[in-house]
């Protein structure tokens, strides 16, 4: 049972049989509701009431079957009345809407030391967490697999993840399936392909046969973007080149040691390779897909449902920080705040180049691109659909995928929209949008056709 | 001049030579090409002035001094002084190691005293012993669900085997005559274990413990690099992350010194229990 389902509907089930998203009894009902949902008209009060009632019903009937039997025998209105006697639903709903008492003040949030995590990190020294009443400890973590395990272990309450990871965890690709949510994107753009200096005249990917590349993780935008980029140039990423997962900090060391020819990695390591004179920036990821998501703020579904107020406060801090980071005039200040050893542990000048977009390219030119990295919290569900098409394209997930249902379950666009409004931002009015990747249009409504259109794929 | 003095002189000379070669090797090549000054400001000294990527001895010396001057600073959860990081590592090593002592010595006694147990436990020991302790890490993280306990478990498992095997060997090779004397005096099995076998096997057991602490100290660095958070291994990883070779060299030296101290403590203890035959 999802948080936003009607808990008094005896027909609701855990497994999704009804419609494509699973929240409705039939596809027709789903379609009818969809228009409402996309436009964000669903009354806030009603939604809160639903959330609170869900929690209460879950507490009273931990087993779905028992709840359904009870509702069938007495009817929903009787159940609601009976429940209200036991538990003041109205008050509880009000408490939630006002962002009531925080259940847990001391939180641990894990991060990987890369500029993608800027909002999560800067929220600590710049006081965004304390502004929303939280005492957050941000903990540097050694790699993506470790951050995944520590979050699944509940050592971390929430964590910085690559945007495909919550999808992979929810689907059980590369780990045990566990319902995961991604309420906010941290950064868009901000990655690059860096090549070793010795390849400075090999700017055409067609001559890259036999190259060894590093990406941060198998389930990363980096992996999908690199594969997409070389495949568009007729290079098969599984046969013509070698792609391996290397933790970002080790990428520059490996490039210097000549273990790899290049990497599609997160900053600061692209700029760091230039700073140390071992590589040059071949192309920025924004030139492949302007506005692509990269890293994300993720939390388990359990955290979201058992501690709604803490979750709301935490998400608000992140959205607040993201909005602050979005403004170009704040970027220098942020670079100074996150450079110390406690956070990114990098020379300030490297971070400044990344965040302001005035940078040395490694070939002797100074380039200016203010959108080299940008920050935008909104988790477009179409991003998730695109990622799922690529997971399927490269054989990471098999069989039929209910793209839309998974995307809606994991990318919590409605929560983000609500909290964006609360901190004084204007959220988009839809949760899906189409975009272009290397000049090719992606229509989130037709993922299968999109997948079929590629020449190089593993499906 | 005594032998000790002469040896010390040679050691010093060798060290001086090493530092000299190191200094010359890391002098750098000077600016290779003329660079646009705006561009030069954006890149590091390695790229702009041809400075060697490897730090020289002066740089490392200065860094060590800075760390020694202020070993216990705490600037947040990810940036603590070298002293604090070492304390974390030593605490982890000691916990894992002491649990291993508590497990290995009784089982070692059992194996050493009973040929049946020796035969029946042997296949398990033979298979488990050669497993690299770090190979346990993913399994430990998955089952224990706590990264700090997982590294303690890894220390436990790696320091278990040398102690277990040495204890069993020491107990099994206590001289038969002594045991026979005990038997004629009708000494009970517990008294026999504590008053005859334990003192007789103590030097072998302590040698096993000395090997184990060495291995445990080797492994903690790797385990902490993998899991992160706190400890000297995390410090190395964090500085590697910053490509700060200077700090990495500092940490290497400190790790060496601590390892030596741990080893010497057990070497002293071994000498205390050694007896002339």
- Among A1-15, A128-142, A289-303, whose mean pLDDT is lowest? A1-15
Task: State whether B146 and A349 contact (CB < 8 Å).
Answer: no
Q: Is B225 on the interface with A (CB under 8 A)?
A: yes
CA-nearest of B157, B257, B254 to B212 is B157
Minimal Cα–Cα distance from A269 to chain B, Å?
Answer: 9
Phi-psi region of A34 (alpha: psi -120 to 50; beta: other; left: phi over 0): alpha
Mean pLDDT, to the nearest integer, of A91-96? Answer: 48
Phi-psi region of A319 (alpha: psi -120 to 50; beta: other; left: phi over 0): alpha
Q: Dihedral of CA B202/B204/B209/B214: which sign?
A: positive
Is the separation of the CB atoms in A359 and A367 below 8 Å? yes
The domain segmentation of chain B, as residue ranges, is 94-229
Residue A95 has pLDDT above 70, yes or no: no
Burial class (CB in 10 A: 0-12, 13-18, 19+), A95: middle
Longest dimension (CA), chain A: 76
* Backbone φ, ψ for residue B70 (5° rounding): -135, 75
Task: Give the Cα-Cα-Cα angle B238, A116, B241 (nearest 5 degrees).
Answer: 15
- pLDDT-based confidence at A322, cuts 50/70/90? confident
* B107's tokens: 């089982």
Pick from A141, A250, A364: CB nearest B39: A364
Residue A183 has pLDDT above 70, yes or no: yes
Is the separation of the CB atoms in A299 and A447 below 8 Å? no
Q: Is B69 on the interface with A (CB under 8 A)?
A: no
Residue B47 has pLDDT above 60, yes or no: yes
Q: Tell me the C-alpha to C-alpha distance, in Å, between residue A330 and each of A83, A271, A293, A384, B169.
A: 50, 20, 21, 29, 68
- pLDDT-based confidence at B196, cuts 50/70/90? confident
What number of other Cβ atoms are within 10 A of residue B77's Cβ? 15
The CATH homologous superfamily to which domain A106-187+293-347+374-452 belongs is Periplasmic binding protein-like II (3.40.190.10)
* A69's tokens: 């039997």
Alpha-carbon gap, residue A163 to A182, rounded angstroms: 8
For B45, residues 6+ apart whose C-beta sits below 8 A from its C-beta are B51
Same fold, A106-187+293-347+374-452 and A191-286: yes
SS (H, E, C) chain B: CCHHHHHHHHHHHHHHHHHHHHHHHCCCCCCCCCCCHHHHHHCCHHHHCCCCCCCCHHHHHHHHHHHHHCCCCECCCCCECHHHHHHHHHHHHHHHHHHHHHHHHHHHHHHHHCHHHHHHHHHHHHHHCCCCHHHHHHHHHHHHCCHHHHHHHHHHHHHHHHHHHHHHHHHHCCCHHHHHHHHHCCCCHHHHHHHHHHHHHHHHHHHHHHHHHHHHHHHHHHHHHHHCCCCHHHHHHHHHHCCCHHHHHHHHHHHHHHHHHHHHHHHHHHHHHCCCC
Mean pLDDT, to the nearest integer, of A409-417? Answer: 78
Q: Tell me the C-alpha to C-alpha distance, in Å, between residue B204 and each of A88, A202, A267, A364, B121.
A: 71, 63, 54, 64, 20
* B183's tokens: 């038997």
Alpha-carbon gap, residue A366 to A360, rounded angstroms: 5
What are the chain A neighbours of B238 within 8 Å (beta carbons)?
Answer: 140, 341, 345
Is the separation of the CB atoms in B39 and A364 below 8 Å? yes
pLDDT at B100: 94
Residue with tokens 């190089």: A456
For B16, residues 6+ apart whose C-beta sits below 8 A from its C-beta are none
From the candidate CATH numbers 1.10.3720.10, 3.20.20.70, 3.30.1330.40, 1.10.357.10, the one assigned to the domain spanning B94-229: 1.10.3720.10
pLDDT at A40: 37
Alpha-carbon gap, residue A215 to A205, rounded angstroms: 16
- Among A123-132, A379-388, B50-59, whose mean pLDDT is lowest? B50-59
pLDDT at B207: 92
Alpha-carbon gap, residue A231 to A315, rounded angstroms: 37
Alpha-carbon gap, residue A88 to A49, rounded angstroms: 11
So what's the architecture of A191-286 in CATH? 3-Layer(aba) Sandwich (3.40)
- Give the three-class secondary structure for A368: strand
pLDDT at B155: 92
Q: Is A253 on the interface with B (CB under 8 A)?
A: yes
The domain segmentation of chain A, as residue ranges, is 27-97, 106-187+293-347+374-452, 191-286
Task: State whether A359 and B42 contact (CB < 8 Å).
Answer: yes
Residue A388 has pLDDT above 50, yes or no: yes
Q: What is the pairing mode between strands A158-162 and A295-300?
A: antiparallel
Put simply, the chain B residues between 21 and 40 with a CB less than 8 A from any chain A CB are: 35-36, 38-39
Burial class (CB in 10 A: 0-12, 13-18, 19+), B130: exposed
Residue with tokens 């590349």: A213
Alpha-carbon gap, residue A346 to A336, rounded angstroms: 10
Pick from A252, A341, A360: CB nearest B43: A360
Q: Is B139 on the interface with A (CB under 8 A)?
A: no
Over the stretch A42-75, which tens digit does the pLDDT of each residue have? Answer: 444 454 555 555 555 555 555 556 656 656 666 6
Residue A14 has pLDDT above 60, yes or no: no
pLDDT at A254: 87
Alpha-carbon gap, residue B35 to B33, rounded angstroms: 6
Residue A418 has pLDDT above 90, yes or no: no
Pick from B36, B42, B75: CB nearest A349: B42
Residue A35 has pLDDT above 50, yes or no: no
* A7's tokens: 């808990």
Q: What is the pairing mode between strands A180-185 and A295-300?
A: antiparallel
For A157, residues 6+ apart whose C-beta sits below 8 A from its C-beta are A104, A107, A108, A109, A299, A303, A310, A314
Q: Is B77 on the interface with A (CB under 8 A)?
A: yes
């Amino acid at each position: 049972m999802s948080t936003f389902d009607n808990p008094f509907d005896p027909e609701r089930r855990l497994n999704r049989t009804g419609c494509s998203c699973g929240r409705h009894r039939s596809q027709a009902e789903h379609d009818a509701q969809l228009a409402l949902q996309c436009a964000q008209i669903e009354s806030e009060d009603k939604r809160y009431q639903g959330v609170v009632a869900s929690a209460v019903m879950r507490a009273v009937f931990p087993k779905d079957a028992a709840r359904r039997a009870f509702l069938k025998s007495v009817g929903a209105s009787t159940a609601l009345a009976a429940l209200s006697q036991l538990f003041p639903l109205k008050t509880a709903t009000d408490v939630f809407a006002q962002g009531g008492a925080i259940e847990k003040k001391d939180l641990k949030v894990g991060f990987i030391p890369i500029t993608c995590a800027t909002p999560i990190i800067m929220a600590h020294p710049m006081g965004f967490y304390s502004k929303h009443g939280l005492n957050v400890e941000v903990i540097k973590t050694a790699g993506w697999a470790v951050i995944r395990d520590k979050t699944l272990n509940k050592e971390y309450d929430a964590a910085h993840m690559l945007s495909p990871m919550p999808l992979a965890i929810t689907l059980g690709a590369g780990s045990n399936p566990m319902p995961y949510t991604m309420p906010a994107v941290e950064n868009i753009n901000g990655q690059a392909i860096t090549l070793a200096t010795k390849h400075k005249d090999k700017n055409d990917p067609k001559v890259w046969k036999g190259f060894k590349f590093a990406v941060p993780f198998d389930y990363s935008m980096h992996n999908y973007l690199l594969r997409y980029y070389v495949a568009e140039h007729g290079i098969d990423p599984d046969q013509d080149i070698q792609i391996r997962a290397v933790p970002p900090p080790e990428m520059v060391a490996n490039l210097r040691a000549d273990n790899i020819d290049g990497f599609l990695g997160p900053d600061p390591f692209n700029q760091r390779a230039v700073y140390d004179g071992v590589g040059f920036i071949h192309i920025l990821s924004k030139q492949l897909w302007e506005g692509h998501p990269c890293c994300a703020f993720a939390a388990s579904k359990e955290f979201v449902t058992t501690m709604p107020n803490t979750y709301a406060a935490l998400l608000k801090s992140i959205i607040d920080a993201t909005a602050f980071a979005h403004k170009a005039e704040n970027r220098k200040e942020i670079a100074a705040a996150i450079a110390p050893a406690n956070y990114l542990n990098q020379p300030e000048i490297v971070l400044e180049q990344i965040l302001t977009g005035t940078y040395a390219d490694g070939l002797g030119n100074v380039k200016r691109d203010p959108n080299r990295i940008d920050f935008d919290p909104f988790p477009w569900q179409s991003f998730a659909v695109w990622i799922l098409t690529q997971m399927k394209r490269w054989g990471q997930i098999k069989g039929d995928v209910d793209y839309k249902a998974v995307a809606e379950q994991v990318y919590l666009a409605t929560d983000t929209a609500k909290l964006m409004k609360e901190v004084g931002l204007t959220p988009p009015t839809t949760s899906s949008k189409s975009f272009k990747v290397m000049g090719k249009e992606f229509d989130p409504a037709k993922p299968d056709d999109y997948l079929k259109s590629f020449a190089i794929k593993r499906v | 001049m005594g032998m000790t003095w002469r040896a010390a002189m040679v050691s010093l000379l060798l060290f001086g030579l090493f530092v000299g070669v190191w200094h010359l090797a890391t002098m750098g090549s000077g600016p290779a090409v003329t660079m646009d000054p705006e561009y030069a400001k954006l890149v590091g000294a390695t790229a702009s002035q041809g400075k060697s990527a490897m730090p020289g001895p002066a740089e490392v010396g200065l860094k060590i001094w800075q760390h020694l001057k202020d070993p216990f600073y705490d600037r947040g959860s990810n940036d603590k002084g070298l002293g604090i990081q070492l304390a974390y590592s030593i605490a982890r090593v000691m916990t894992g190691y002491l649990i291993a002592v508590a497990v290995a010595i009784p089982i070692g006694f059992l194996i050493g005293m009973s040929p049946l147990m020796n035969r029946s436990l042997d296949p398990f020991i033979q298979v488990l012993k050669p497993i690299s302790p770090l190979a346990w890490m993913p399994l430990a993280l998955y089952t224990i669900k706590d990264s700090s306990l997982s590294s303690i478990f890894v220390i436990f498992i790696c320091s278990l085997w040398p102690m277990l095997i040495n204890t069993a060997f020491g107990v099994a090779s206590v001289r038969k005559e002594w045991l026979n004397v005990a038997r004629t005096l009708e000494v009970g099995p517990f008294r026999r274990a504590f008053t005859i076998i334990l003192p007789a096997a103590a030097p072998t057991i302590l040698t096993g413990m000395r090997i184990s602490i060495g291995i445990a100290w080797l492994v903690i660095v790797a385990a902490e690099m993998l899991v992160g958070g706190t400890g000297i291994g995390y410090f190395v990883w964090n500085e590697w992350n910053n490509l700060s070779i200077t700090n990495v060299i500092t940490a290497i030296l400190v790790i060496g010194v601590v390892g030596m101290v741990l080893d010497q403590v057990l070497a002293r203890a071994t000498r205390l229990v050694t007896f002339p035959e």
